[in-house]
Structure 1
Amino acid sequence: VHDLSAKLELAEKALVTKQQRIDEMKQTVAKQEEEMETVGLLKAQIEVYCSDFHAERAAREKIHEEKEKLAIQLEYMKKENSNLKDDLIRLGRYSKIKKKHIQISVVSSEPVYIPCRPSIVEMQRRHGAQGPKFACPKCAEILPDIDTLQIHVMDCII
């Protein structure tokens, strides 16, 4: 009996040890399952962050390209603006010279007539027998002075 009791006691101790080991293994498995779920969630987050990063990078590249295009357009517009300002300055001078040499005849009931190019007959009448000294290189119209010639050449060429 003593021998059987010792065997029984040994079997019970072995059973308790095995049960403890099973419980420990169950806890380890539960922890590992939680970790696996966490790893899955982390992988999903990484994929989302990665796709967001690539989308943001593409958007930044597109914005950079647009910025470069706009910078080129801005430079072109600045040059065009500068050219237009120069044209305005030239036109202002042209207008002043033209006003200086054109006579405006105003009759109360008749509309205003501004002659752009005086005819040869008018030029001869204005200058008498002496006659004008300058001629247009394109159309050969005879003009009285260099300022009028400059105005006429600008009109004639354009």
Structure 2
Amino acid sequence: MQENVIVCTSPHKTFNMAGLQISNLIIPNERLHRAYAWMLTRDAYPKPNIFALVATMAAYGQASPWLEELLAYLEANRDFIAQYLAQEMPQIGYYQPEGTFLAWLDFSACGLAGEKLQEFILQQARVVLNAGIIFGAEGNKFMRLNFACPRAQVERALERIKMAFDPIKMK
């Protein structure tokens, strides 16, 4: 089985390098490697530019201290959200993320769902969240909060959401 495994990774999310359009593929099987190389040539995929190569090597080779600081910062923001919601808005459910910087917020208790929920948060709280509905009908009462930002921004977003929902008196 291992001879048919292809490992695909990229530095995009970890190192905020999406604009560089580079990824890494590990293809130990020589036959699969040749087929992949042929497909790249056939479809005229460009080779990565030198800037992307150097940036990727620097990210993987020299950015460990920065990454450790980033992860600690994100964990602190994640924990702040959990604490704030528990104390200030216990009606909003919270699902702690396991591998992303996007917190799942459950607005089931507010009586709004789907587009109405998204519109309410945008218009009343003036906060942009990702709608959970994009993941299927089960997500229509959920929103995703990106916490890969300054703590003050996370605090401001949560305070605005709290003020917007306060008059509603969630169930």
Class of the TM-score when normalised by the shorter of the 2 chains: under 0.3
Normalised by the length of structure 1, the TM-score is 0.23
Normalised by the length of structure 2, the TM-score is 0.22
**Larger strand proportion, structure 1 or 2?**
2
**Larger helix proportion, structure 1 or 2?**
1
Task: Report the structure number with the largest CA radius of gyration.
Answer: 1
